[in-house]
Amino acid sequence: MATVKEIVGPGQRDIISIGKDKTVADAVSRMVEDEIGALVVVDGEKPVGMFTERDVLKCWTRKGERHFNEIKIAEVMTTNLIIAETDDDLCYVTTIMIKNRIRHLPVLENNILVAMLSIRDVVKAQVTDLRAENHYLKDYISDKYPG
């Protein structure tokens, strides 16, 4: 089974994040601009939470008359930060995402944020693995297998 590192590739990718002192309006604008569903919330360089589309909806329903430009991310972000590490295998990551009902995982390597992994990334990698396995099994069954 593939690992997270094989999906995200070597080195650090551009990770779209937002400071914890920014507003919900700033976060929503950033998410719309970059066509993404989640942001890593940082305090300096350190990841401290996540802000997702789900958090926007919760904020909308729970903050009463306050406007998004008055609400700080730190007030409404998800603080129970669940992460993946680059050596984690995809089965483990898939299980974590399903169990916790999340679609985005920050990826850390040596305690440094290196990527954001989405459920789409995980499914795409698993489908690719299954297609390759299917191909080899068909070749084996039809006696085309070179081994």
Report the amino acid identity of residue 130.
L
Q: Which ranges of the chain would DSSP assign to H, the alpha helix?
A: 4-8, 24-34, 53-62, 73-76, 90-100, 119-141
Weakest mean pLDDT among 16-25, 102-111, 135-144: 135-144
Q: How large a percentage of the chain has pLDDT more than 90?
A: 49
Q: What is the structure's pLDDT at 147?
A: 58
69: CB partners within 8 A, 6+ apart: 23, 24, 25
What's the rounded Cα separation, in Å, for the pair 61 and 24? Answer: 13
- Residue 99 — pLDDT band, cuts 50, 70, 90? very high
Give the per-residue pLDDT at 123: 82
Query: How many domains would you assign to the chain?
Result: 2
CATH number of the domain enclosing 66: 3.10.580.10
| Arithmetic mean of pLDDT, 68-92 | 92
Residues 65 and 106 in one domain: no
Together in a domain, 122 and 88 = yes
Higher pLDDT, 29 or 125: 29
Mean pLDDT (the chain, rounded): 85
Please say whether the beta carbons of 59 and 24 come within 8 A: yes
- 63 with 96, same domain: the answer is no
103 and 74 housed in the same domain: no
User: What's the pTM?
Assistant: 0.78
More confidently predicted of 143 and 81? 81
Residue 58 has pLDDT above 80, yes or no: yes
Q: What is the pLDDT of residue 10?
A: 62
Q: Which domain holds residue 137?
A: 82-147
Residue of higher predicted confidence among 2 and 104: 104
